[in-house]
Copies of this chain bind each other. A is one copy, B any other.
Amino acid sequence: MVDDLPHTALPGFMDHPLDIVFAALADPTRRAILAMLLEDDMAVTDVAEPFEMSLTAISKHLTILTRAGLIAQEKRGRVKWCKLDPSGLRSASVWMQGFGQFEPVHLDAFERFLEQELAQDLDPSDADPVRE
């Protein structure tokens, strides 16, 4: 038997979204992943490649980034593509701009950049995913 709370892991959990966003950003591996995705959308395997860490570990990091709204993942065939999602970063930025008490920031070049990315909707036309 598995005790009695096997539902959806409903404990206190992190209630506030900002907890999740900032916690996600607090790890250097995850920030490095975000920086990589700034250059290109990537498959999980390719994200993992430069790190001296198991694929599983990277997969977990990507899950954390996804739940924080910092990246979005989309499965195409057997490959799961990862791309930046501005929403997480935006909410964090809004808070930081004076803990939400001042006017929200316009993420300037960054937001516009990401919006372009989104518009392309994961078109790996010039990506180079398969390296073998």
User: Is B27 a contact of A25 with CB atoms below 8 Å?
Assistant: no
Number of copies: 2
Judge if A79 is at the interface, Cβ distance under 8 Å: no
Interface residues of A in 92-114 (CB under 8 A from B): 92-93, 95-99, 101-103, 105, 107-110, 113
How far is A120 from B42 in the complex, measured between Cα atoms in Å?
A: 49
Q: Which range holds the interface residue count of chain A?
A: 20 to 34
Inter-subunit contact B19/A99 (CB<8 Å): no
Contact between chains at A102 and B109 (CB < 8 Å): yes
Asked if A26 CB lies within 8 Å of chain B CBs, one says yes
Query: Do A96 and B93 form a contact, CB below 8 Å, given A16-B28, A23-B23?
Result: yes
Interface segment, one of A2-10, A30-38, A50-58, A123-131: A30-38
A89: Cβ under 8 A from any B Cβ: yes
Q: Which residues of A are in contact with B by a Cβ distance under 8 Å?
A: 15-16, 18-19, 22-23, 25-28, 31, 34-35, 38, 89, 92-93, 95-99, 101-103, 105, 107-110, 113
